[in-house]
A = this chain, B = another copy of it.
Amino acid sequence: MDLDARRKADPDHWKLASAIRVLAMDAVEAAKSGHPGMPMGMADVATVLFRKHLKFDASAPHWFDRDRFVLSAGHGSMLLYSLLHLSGYQQMTIEQIKHFRQLGSITAGHPEYGHAEGIETTTGPLGQGISTAVGMAMAEEAMRAEFGSELCDHRTWVIAGDGCLMEGISQEAVGLAGNQQLGRLIVLWDNNDITIDGRVSLSDRTDQMARFAASGWRVLECDGHDAADIDRALTEAAKDDGRPVLVSCKTIIGFGAPTKADSAKAHGSPLGAEEIAAARKAYGWDNATAFEIPEDIAASWHEIGARGAATRKEWQTRVDALSSNPRDDFARRIGNEVNPQLAQTIREMKQKTSEEQPKLATRKASENVLAALNPVMPENFGGSADLTGSNNTLTPGMGIFNAGNRLGRYIHYGIREHGMAAAMNGIWLHGGFRPYGGTFLTFTDYARGAMRLSALMGLPVTYVMTHDSIGLGEDGPTHQPVEHLAICRATPNMLMLRPCDQVETAEAWEIALSHDTAPSVMALSRQNLPTLRTNHQDENLSLKGAYVLREASGGKPAVVLMATGSEVEIAVAARETLESEGTPTRVVSVPSMELFRAQSPAYREEVLPGGTVRIAIEAAIRQPWDWLLLGERGREEKSAFIGMEGFGASAPAPALYREFGITAEAVTERAKALL
Contact = CB atoms under 8 A, between A and B. Distances in A.
Number of copies: 2
A74 interface: yes
A93 to B, nearest CB: 17
A479 interface: yes
Contacts of A413: 203
A274 B479 CA distance: 30
A636 interface: yes
B445 A125 contact: yes
Contacts of A126: 415
Contacts of A208: 214
Contacts of A2: none
Given A650-B101, A659-B103, A630 B626 contact: yes
A477 B101 CA distance: 11
Contact of A449 (B123, B195, B446, B644): B446
Interface in A371-423: 384, 386-390, 400, 402, 412-416, 418-419
Interface string A6-32: 000000000000000000000000010
Contacts of A441: none
A206 interface: yes
Nearest to A477: B456
Contact of A204 (B179, B195, B387, B388): B179
B630 A638 contact: no
Interface centre among A208, A621, A626, A645 (most CB of B within 10 A): A626
A576 interface: no
Interface string A56-77: 0000000000000000001000
Interface in A504-549: none
B179 A175 contact: no
A637 interface: yes
Interface in A606-649: 621-624, 626-627, 629-631, 633-639, 644-647, 649
A345 interface: no
A490 interface: yes
Contacts of A577: none
B216 A205 contact: yes
A412 to B, nearest CB: 4
Contacts of A386: 163, 166, 195-197, 203
A162 interface: yes
A636 B634 contact: yes
A342 interface: no
A388 B419 CA distance: 27
A115 to B, nearest CB: 9
Question: Which of A105, A415, A647 neighbours the largest number of chain B CB atoms within 10 Å of its CB?
Answer: A415
A215 interface: yes
Contacts of A443: 125, 449
User: Which size bracket describes the interface of A in this complex?
Assistant: 35 or more
Contacts of A108: 476-477, 649-650
A88 interface: no
A478 B172 contact: no
Nearest to A413: B203
A621 B196 contact: no
B647 A638 contact: no
Contacts of A478: 74, 110, 112, 122-125, 453, 456
Contact of A651 (B102, B205, B492, B644): B102
A651 to B, nearest CB: 4
A419 B168 contact: yes
Interface stretch (A41-49, A322-330, A332-340, A481-489): A481-489
B486 A197 contact: no
A178 interface: yes
Contacts of A124: 475-476, 478-479
B623 A490 contact: yes
Interface in A191-212: 195-198, 201-208, 210-211
Contacts of A486: 486-487, 490, 623
A105 B651 CA distance: 9
A645 B622 CA distance: 20
A466 interface: no
**Which of A103, A388, A389, A622 lies at the interface centre, i.e. has the most chain B CB atoms within 10 A of its CB?**
A103
A448 interface: yes
B649 A103 contact: yes
Given A124-B476, A166-B414, A178 B196 contact: no
B210 A213 contact: yes
Given A33-B473, A110-B650, A166-B172, A492 B206 contact: no
18 contacts: A34-B474, A110-B475, A124-B476, A124-B479, A125-B443, A175-B206, A176-B203, A178-B204, A179-B206, A197-B384, A210-B211, A445-B449, A456-B477, A489-B623, A492-B621, A493-B647, A630-B634, A633-B638
Top 3 A-B pairs, shortest CB-CB distance:
A168-B168, A203-B414, A626-B626
Given A103-B656, A167-B172, 13 more contacts: A33-B473, A122-B478, A125-B442, A125-B446, A163-B415, A167-B446, A214-B214, A445-B448, A486-B623, A493-B646, A634-B634, A634-B637, A634-B639
